[in-house]
Structure 1
């Protein structure tokens, strides 16, 4: 069934597809997004990409970098952003949401799969997949794989972290000013320690995403295979297309007032990435 579909990736500042632009998957060229909330640049990479435009490379040198080769990562969305207003660390979330119910399309064993995801991938993930507008969100601070803190009011993060072949490539840490901020806030230097630190709500509440400061993030893993439309978890493989109901699956980052940016992957729109404020969470 998967072979009957092609992916297309678009990005824009809202759900309105007329405001989106096509993202050149696996290209080092960044896609820029500007809104009243945010200025952002992003790269999307998909291993064994089979989609639009048809001239797109099937892979990126990003996947040959030591970290990603070791992990056997299958996709990545890297983005740098600068907010127009300061947002508390507990209010910015990252995850998936849908426009319509999916409760009748959930596969057998979903609750087991979700427990694996919570234990193995993102312990901070929460939400309600049985709602009329289902969602699964985790705090951006603990969900994102890489967090790189840049300078304030200098707008140089993208240029300094661009790889001529791979595009935006960030490492955990920051520039001199960013590292000083991490130290002053007691944020661990290592990725796993930083993620664990921000699973604590009090620690998130003491942090602010500052207006005018640049941040670099990377989200990646080996579990989603967009070529075969498969979710591969330890001991569990789910054929996504078997349960797909035709609506987009969105990976979002958001706050209370609205979306900041979104990138949409679809058979021709399966997954979306956006930034918005945290909604009220109901645990599964």
Structure 2
């Protein structure tokens, strides 16, 4: 059924669909998003892209650069983030604590009855090997999986970074400008991405890091595991055709839901403030005009209750085998290599 759908990426300062703007995937020019809470410049890159806008580049020079070429990265959400001081903020507050700034996925409807086979195994692989700070509840009425931004982003640059068309647009190296490097060194933040992500799991590290109002940060989230071109999840030890489970509702035969959304959110845990929402939407091709715009029916929702969970035919899932394969490919899990105090992880 995937061939009946087409991918579209939009972004905005909040959940309101009317505030979302289409992102020109794989184009070097950033999309600017401004709100009372933050200024953002965004690049989204997707390998082997065949979505909207029509005639978008199928790739970006970004994927030919290291470490992305070696990693075989499949997508990137990369942006400059300049937080602004809210009007109601205390005069003594100078920024957003790293304890509060979160990045991850959430949904506006339950997905617990439509999670794929082996979901808990996949989540364990992500939490044990890829993003140990990830936390949330996929079984809640309003499901979410967030991680501290400080440990979730693959690259954090304290400063504006550069815009280099030969590298696909915004480009950030781990570290920062002169002032940014000095600020990192002052609180003991490691110089490399891998070590910083590990260091950021500690409670005291998050307490000491402040995303200052008015200062610009370069953030890049990327990986090789989610293949948007083929709608597939490929974790070490776990593979899944995600078109059946895109947003907990799945692509269904008969009368398919007209669109499905995977949502990435940058938010404040304490205040609930939202700074950025990026939507990866798949739409029925019949709902897209020749010029690439959406027909008025594109986000139509069937009335009444959701259909019962699909009875998919799939091989029995072997969790032990999947985890062992992940261990062979990626080495000891974070909790196996070094015991981390439970108080150090949000």
Q: TM-score, normalised by structure 2?
A: 0.74
Residue deviations 1:4-40 (CA, integer Å, cap 9, x gap): 2111111111111111111100000100000010001
The residue number in structure 1 matching 2:235 is 233
The residue number in structure 2 matching 1:39 is 39
The residue number in structure 2 matching 1:110 is 119
CA distance in 2, matches of 1:130, 1:3: 30
Matched, 1:128 2:137: yes
Q: How far is the alpha carbon of 1:102 from its aligned partner?
A: 0.1
Matches within 5 A, 1:155-234: 157=160, 161-165=162-166, 166-234=168-236
For structure 1, the 5+ residue unaligned runs are: 151-156, 270-282
Residue deviations 1:172-210 (CA, integer Å, cap 9, x gap): 010000000001111000111101111012210121110
Q: Which has the higher contact order (CA 8 A, sep 6+)?
A: 1
Following TM superposition, where does structure 1 have runs of at least 4 consecutive aligned residues deviating by more than 3 angstroms?
none
Give the match's secondary structure for 1:268: strand
Aligned residues: 262
Matched, 1:74 2:81: no
Q: How far is the alpha carbon of 1:247 from its aligned partner?
A: 4.3
Does the 8 Å contact 1:11/1:23 carry over to 2?
yes
Coordinate RMSD, CA, aligned: 1.4
Does the 8 Å contact 1:98/1:247 carry over to 2?
no
The residue number in structure 2 matching 1:279 is none
Query: Which structure shows the higher strand fraction?
Result: 1
Does the 8 Å contact 1:149/1:179 carry over to 2?
yes
The residue number in structure 1 matching 2:279 is 264
CA distance in 2, matches of 1:247, 1:59: 23
Q: How far is the alpha carbon of 1:253 from its aligned partner?
A: 1.5
Q: TM-score, normalised by structure 1?
A: 0.89
Matches within 5 A, 1:42-61: 42-61=42-61
Q: How far is the alpha carbon of 1:55 from its aligned partner?
A: 1.2
CA distance in 2, matches of 1:105, 1:43: 31
The residue number in structure 2 matching 1:277 is none
Give the match's secondary structure for 2:82: strand
The residue number in structure 1 matching 2:154 is 145
For structure 2, the 5+ residue unaligned runs are: 86-94, 250-258, 285-344
Does the 8 Å contact 2:231/2:243 carry over to 1?
yes
Q: How far is the alpha carbon of 1:114 from its aligned partner?
A: 0.7
Q: How far is the alpha carbon of 1:250 from its aligned partner?
A: 1.3
